[in-house]
Structures are given as structure tokens and as C-alpha cells.
Amino acid sequence: MAWEVVPRDYLNPFFIWRVLRGEYTPPDFELASVLGIDGKKLKKKGAKVIFFDADNTLFAHGAREADERVIKKLKQLQEGFELGIITNTYNPKRRGFLHKYFNKSQGLKMYVCASKVKKPGETPFKDALRKFKYKPSQCVMVGDNLFTDVVGGKRVGMLTIKVKPYSLESEPVHLRLMRFWGNLVFGLTGFFR
């Protein structure tokens, strides 16, 4: 299968309708950043695995190094949870980098999902779930994008945490347009409830 450039669901009227109806929102938690994740709260909800979006969630878009505090937070969370990354990057080099950076350079154990279908498609989430063999309700998706991370996570039944984008300026133009489109759809959500 070829890589998707634009997630196919962005143009799927049935899916957009369900988003407009508010079926996949709101997120379970909204935080300023991943540093605010409360492991105890997630444990109480039965969470076993935490999946992160990479760009603009763990660091600025395309960054090659994460803030020390983020790494420390991930190490803390690793004591109680399995960790993974579900990214929309279609660049195999970038995925390879993410794997190497977190697992080799930082000594974490982070599974990097390699699905060719993009969030909010169900495939990347289902691939990730297959890896850990937990129920969707035992998994958490953390991301900066409502449309891809929160909607996609909720769509498969995961708990979701929305964080503020790390740095919007770091985002390439086509992604900014997609974010704008997602925000536009979400702006209309209330009207169709």
C-alpha cells in the first residue's frame, strides 16, 4: 500500500459527519503538555499502555532532541506503563530516528508504530493494539491534534489526552492547513449535536 499523504478520513463525508455529531469528542483530559500527565489517575482508569503522538507532542515538529523534562517524565511513566509512539510521519528515516532516539540514545522502551495508514484512520491504532494485546480501553492516546490523535484514539475506544501543540511555528504549511481544517470541523461540532 502506498503512503497516505492526506489521511483519507479527512475527506470522508461519513466520518466528518460523525465528528460533527461529536461522537469522538471531547478528550478525556486536556493538558498544557505531556509533563502534566498524572500516572496515578490513568492507573485508576485501568490504563496499561500510553501511546504518544511524536511531532508537536513530545517535541517541536521534526525536532531531533526532546527536552530533558520530557525524557524524565517518560522514564517515570515507564515504571507503571508500557509506552509507544503512533506517528503520522510517512518518512521511514524519521521513524527509524524516533526508534533509535528513544530506545538507544535515551534508554527508554518505546514501541514505534509503523502503519502506512494515517491517524485518524483506525489501522495505526489497531496495529499498535495488536502489539500490546491490551483492550483499547486500557490504552491511552496522547496528542496535540484533536482531529488525528483524539478522534482516532476515541474511534477505537482508547482513553485520550489532548495536549497543547509544542510549537505551532515548527509545523510545515500542509500540516497547518490540515490542522486548520480539523479546527474548522470542530468549530462546527456543537451545531450538529
Q: Which residues bind Mg ion (CB under 5 A)?
A: 53, 55-56, 144-145
If the CB atoms of residues 145 and 160 are measured against Mg ion, the closer one turns out to be 145
Q: How far is the CB of 110 from Mg ion (least distance, A)?
A: 16
| Residues ≥6 apart with Cβ < 8 Å to 107 | none
Q: How far is the CB of 74 from Mg ion (least distance, A)?
A: 16
Q: How far is the CB of 143 from Mg ion (least distance, A)?
A: 6
Q: How far is the CB of 72 from Mg ion (least distance, A)?
A: 21
| Residues ≥6 apart with Cβ < 8 Å to 106 | 66, 71, 74
Assign residue 173 a region (left: φ > 0; alpha: ψ between -120 and 50; beta: otherwise). Answer: alpha
DSSP collapsed to 3 states, 43-72:
HHCCCCEEEECCECCCECCCCCCCCHHHHH
Q: Which residues pair with 85 in a beta bridge?
A: 52, 112
Helix (H, G, I), strand (E, B) or coil at 14: helix
If the CB atoms of residues 82 and 144 are measured against Mg ion, the closer one turns out to be 144
If the CB atoms of residues 138 and 145 are measured against Mg ion, the closer one turns out to be 145
The residue number whose beta carbon is nearest to Mg ion equals 56
If the CB atoms of residues 33 and 145 are measured against Mg ion, the closer one turns out to be 145
If the CB atoms of residues 76 and 167 are measured against Mg ion, the closer one turns out to be 167
Per-residue cell: 67: 527536552
Q: How far is the CB of 133 from Mg ion (least distance, A)?
A: 26
